[in-house]
A = this chain, B = another copy of it.
Amino acid sequence: MKNFSRENSVSTHKRMEILNVTNVVAKAVKESGITNGLVHVWVPHATAAIALNEHDSDLWDDILESFSQLVPIEGKYRHNAKYSWTESEQNAHAHILNCLIKPHVTIPLENGGMQLGTWQSILLIEMDGPRTRHIRVQVMGE
């Protein structure tokens, strides 16, 4: 059994934004030479997250709008008040959403292919951009 990992960077361009990173992950899986096992996708971030869902930019707007209604960007957050002197730390909403969405997904790999369903793309959910985000792909298997 083998273990392979690769880290890539992507740039986000908005405060809240969804990017399809399936190709970034698929490339690392191919490089790994591993064909059966688990693919773990990880972002080392507390204000961005990873999900699996449909490639549909209209839906992505729905997702981000819903998230913003659940946990508003503007709010009476202690974290934001403490760092009120710096615009880059007005991001409690993103930290809270990260605890719900989580910064990772684990995908089954069989015969060289990630077992994604028809409507499953790997999505990076930016909640405090624009920033450079790191995506770590780890493949364990044989």
Contact = CB atoms under 8 A, between A and B. Distances in A.
Interface string A51-71: 111101011011100110011
A contacts with B: majority SS: mixed
B44 A3 contact: no
A95 B140 contact: no
Contacts of A98: 51-53
Interface residues of A, number: 61
A116 B30 CA distance: 25
Interface string A31-49: 0000011101011111100
A138 B59 contact: no
B108 A105 contact: no
